[in-house]
Amino acid sequence: MSKGKHTKAYIALIFICIVWGTTYLAIRVGVMHYPAFLFAGVRQVISGLIIMSAGYLMSRHVDISWKSLRHQALVGFLLITIGNGLVTWAEKYIPSGVAALICSLMPICSVLFNLVASKKEKMNALVITGMLFGFGGVGLIFRDNIADLANGSYLMGIAATFTATSCWALGSIINKKRQVQTNPIFNSGMQLLFGGIFLLTASPVVDDYTNAFVWHADGFWALIYAIIFGSVLAYTAYMYALKELPVGLVSTYAYVNPLVAVILGYLILNEQLTWITALAFATIMLGVYLVNLGYRRIHKKAVKDMGDNEISALPTPNTRKAYN
């Protein structure tokens, strides 16, 4: 990677770290006024069309073959419909900071999927310890919100966020491994468009449309912010960073996002912030760090023990292969 690309990729990663932390707040404000899947679907369809248009203007070379469309639809379903859609829905019932803390487990999920996919790589003590810390941190969240555990909607929100986090990790890995080389910006837009269409299709079944079309200034501006910053700019930055940097490094945005989300939720929405919340954040971040460290050691050993042909097939987030 050239020095210029290296710098741009890190700038993109920093942007993701901050902006995706703020979008938890925007989503929370939005779903307080509008149906969740409708809100998310409109956001992603508009964002997808904008990104596709920008990608097409930059390069007319696009791949709309059936194979490419299937790939973009699958990734869009995992990342956007499930990954983003379920988090949006969950934030109707759980605080934005809690959603962000659970989503910070994404790097752990990524490593687990890689370990399951590879017969050559086995868990070590660091990975196991990191998992215990990570999920222990989630347990502390429950300790801090123990009264809410009797609320069925709260528990469904927690379960939905766990599912979303797992699907986001899986979608990121599939997108990294099954590359479509042409016009990554256009392809990113297709993923948002497909994911948004799936959300709008599911919306009449999932959402309550009572007062769905009543004007709410806060909800409207939350949608605009989510479209411009949370989707168009941040998602494009994410895809660019994922193309130029190892997915394990890119996934470190999950260290910063929850901190931004928790602080903003406390300052703007008066969400609960206690010493247990801070301990949960520190515990989860330590778990993520240990899992990533352990996995790098596993991968290093696997590469050392394998031949060139086997190395090329190794499902690792640390390979610098081109994205899309």
Domain ranges for the chain, please list them. 3-103+151-269
Q: How far apart are CA 118 and CA 101, in angstroms?
A: 28
From residue 197, alpha-carbon distances to 2, 88, 187, 236 in Å are 37, 15, 15, 19
Q: Which residues are CB-neighbours of 188 under 8 A, at least 6 positions away? A: 51, 55, 235, 236, 239, 324
Q: How far apart are CA 87 and CA 160, in angstroms?
A: 7
Provide the 3-class DSSP secondary structure of residue 179. Answer: coil
Q: What is the pLDDT of residue 319?
A: 33
Q: What is the pLDDT of residue 32?
A: 92
The one-digit pLDDT tens for each residue of the chain (324 residues) are: 556 667 888 899 999 989 989 999 999 999 999 999 999 999 999 999 999 998 888 888 888 888 889 999 999 999 999 999 999 999 999 999 889 888 888 878 888 887 777 666 677 888 888 888 888 888 888 777 777 777 888 899 999 999 999 998 888 888 877 666 678 888 889 999 999 999 999 999 999 998 888 889 999 999 999 999 988 888 778 878 887 887 767 877 777 888 899 899 999 988 888 888 889 889 988 888 888 788 878 777 766 665 544 433 334 443 333 222
The CA-to-CA distance between both ends of the chain, in Å, stands at 16
Q: Which residues are CB-neighbours of 238 under 8 A, at least 6 positions away? A: 12, 16, 20, 250, 253
Q: Which residues are CB-neighbours of 15 under 8 A, at least 6 positions away? A: 233, 234, 237
Q: How far apart are CA 169 and CA 198, in angstroms?
A: 19
Say what the pTM is: 0.81
Q: What is the pLDDT of residue 310?
A: 44
The tokens describing 118, both together, are 């590879």
> Is residue 192 classed exposed, middle or buried when 0-12, 13-18 and 19+ CB atoms within 10 A define those classes?
buried
Q: Which residues are CB-neighbours of 74 under 8 A, at least 6 positions away? A: 171, 174
Q: How far apart are CA 84 and CA 89, in angstroms?
A: 9
